[in-house]
Structure 1
Amino acid sequence: MKPILASEWLKLRSVNSTGYAIGAAGLAVVLGIVWTLYVGSLADQRGSIHAAAPEEGFLPLVQLSLAVLGVLAITSEHAGGLLRTSLAAVPSRGRLLLAKATVVGAVALAVSGAVLLATYAISRVIAGDRSLGFNTGSLADGLLPVLASTLSVTVLALVGLGIGAATRSTTTGIVSVVGLLFILPGIVTYLPAPWSTRVASIMVPNLIPQITGERLSRRLGAGVLQPWVALLVLVGYGAAALLAGYQAMKRRDA
């Protein structure tokens, strides 16, 4: 398995799209600094302000960037014909997909963890003693949401990989991830009660606050799912996408 992992790591870091995706995710740090400076200037004028935490506000950028990385990790190989070569070297589609998932997951975990932690820490340092709404507690108080957010990014990267394996289409994979992150959560709010609340509770953006035990919104109250259930649902997204990708790879040639 080690040679397969080394090969997948070499392929992932040798394509330009990997650097672009990581760079896009890294923009969250820059945007977080700009945002904190902006709301800090408002607080200097008004005395205090209640602003969104930058690591939460720019989380979708990190999620989408690394989900696209997951999609491209396999669709770029298929488009270039490299996937046939990979399958010739590693006939087991399960082992090949597992190796890709391990490499993509590790990269997503490391990059998202570094980006979100940096955004979190730097924004608090810049905020200082000013009351900005997101810096009321100690520096350690917000680490659990950051870790949950990092996990969500990693899962979404695996979702992108699984959808890419199932569809072999970069466009379909990216559109699917966008729909999962932004479109479906908006649509379910129009469902009749109590279905709107129940379905909203399993949408990816709403799982993070439930994992950490925070309030979701006035509509969802304290949350519908227990933290451990929300965690299982989040992990289930990645597992279901990878299973779908594996089944699709088994049924067809590269």
Structure 2
Amino acid sequence: MSTHQPPMPQAAAAAPDRQAAPGGSYPGYSSPIPVVRTHLGHALASEWTKIKSVRSTMWTLGVFVLLVIGIGLLTGFAVESSAGDADLAGENPLSFGFFGVLLGSICVITLGVLTTASEYGTGMIRTTMTACPSRGRVLAAKAIVFFVVAFAVTLAAVSFVAMVHSSMLSGTAAEKPSGGTWFKATVGVSLYIALLGLLSLVIGSIIRHSAGAITIMIGVVLAPLVIALFMAASSLHKVQQWLLEYSIPSQLSVFYDNSLTQSGPSGWDPLWIMLGVTAAAYAGAYALLQSRDV
């Protein structure tokens, strides 16, 4: 009886050369796509793509520039044509840019809220968190991109208005601004407005509702000053004074050396106050972002 066995087929004899995927649990497959560890730069690129591609950025910043420059020019022309040398004696010509910046800040507040809260309204936040599971990185990327954009646009607008006002009123009795005055009225104001917008972004992340967060921020800007104006009782004088000193319009006017009150924050104090409030709100937003579902 023959024990000879037929030869095995050549295809069966040649076993495939299988290579286990690095770190994978399924041997036999190696992805040709390189695995790249994500970092903050990727999140920044993503947020920059978002903020420059949505219509809200163009409209809010466009209206902001229009208000700052438009009201600034109108104010300059009105002061130049109607005010005499006696009225402008010792006046800082850069201070007339205050009105446009105050109204324009509402636009920066709106954009800051929409940068975070709008994603919760549309459900886009789920896609964002899936692409970048690190929630703290997402919030940091949004904050950095928004702050840089808001600061750059504000600096360009207020610097243009400051140069125009200084040129228009150079032949009057208005004082010539010093280098420190220029720096505060341009860079200082821009940092303050960018921080105010960043605070709005953080509030949008906490509230997760665009209309609600915008209402809250507008109330923060305008309500203290309006309430203080109606406090006529002598027993409320201290409260009235505190509201006037620490209201956003009053702190903003400090950068133009034209404070609404004779006491309260001065110099660079408003910037440090806004920085502290924004940092505290950011910490709260980060903690809530880590503990809540998206």
TM-score with structure 1 length normalisation? 0.85
5+ residue gaps, structure 1: none
Q: Single out whichever of 63-72 and 188-197 deviates more from structure 2.
A: 188-197
CA RMSD of superposed structures (Å)? 2.5
2:209 aligned residue = 169
Change (3 A) 1:128 1:230: closer
Quick one: which amino acid aligns to residue 241 of structure 2? T
The Cα shift of 1:243 comes to 2.4
Alignment of 1:1-254 (within 5 A): 1-27=40-66, 28-43=68-83, 49-50=87-88, 53-131=95-173, 135-138=174-177, 140=179, 141-188=181-228, 190=231, 192-210=236-254, 214=257, 216-217=259-260, 220-221=261-262, 223-225=263-265, 227=267, 229-254=269-294
Residues of 2 paired with 1:165 and 1:231: CA distance? 22
% identical equivalent positions: 25
The size of the alignment, in residue pairs, is 245
Residues of 2 paired with 1:23 and 1:226: CA distance? 31
- Partners of 1:124 and 1:139 within 8 A in 2: no
Residues of 2 paired with 1:176 and 1:253: CA distance? 23
Deviation digits for residues 110-161 of structure 1 (CA, Å, limit 9, x no counterpart): 1111111111111222334134xxx422364343233322122111111110
SS of the aligned residue for 1:194 comes to helix
Q: Which is greater in Rg?
A: 2
- Partners of 1:207 and 1:234 within 8 A in 2: no
Quick one: which amino acid aligns to residue 35 of structure 1? T
5+ residue gaps, structure 2: 1-39
Residues of 2 paired with 1:99 and 1:6: CA distance? 9
Change (3 A) 1:181 1:14: same
- Partners of 1:158 and 1:241 within 8 A in 2: no
TM-score with structure 2 length normalisation? 0.75
Q: Greater helix percent: which structure?
A: 1
Residues of 2 paired with 1:121 and 1:95: CA distance? 39
The Cα shift of 1:228 comes to 5.5
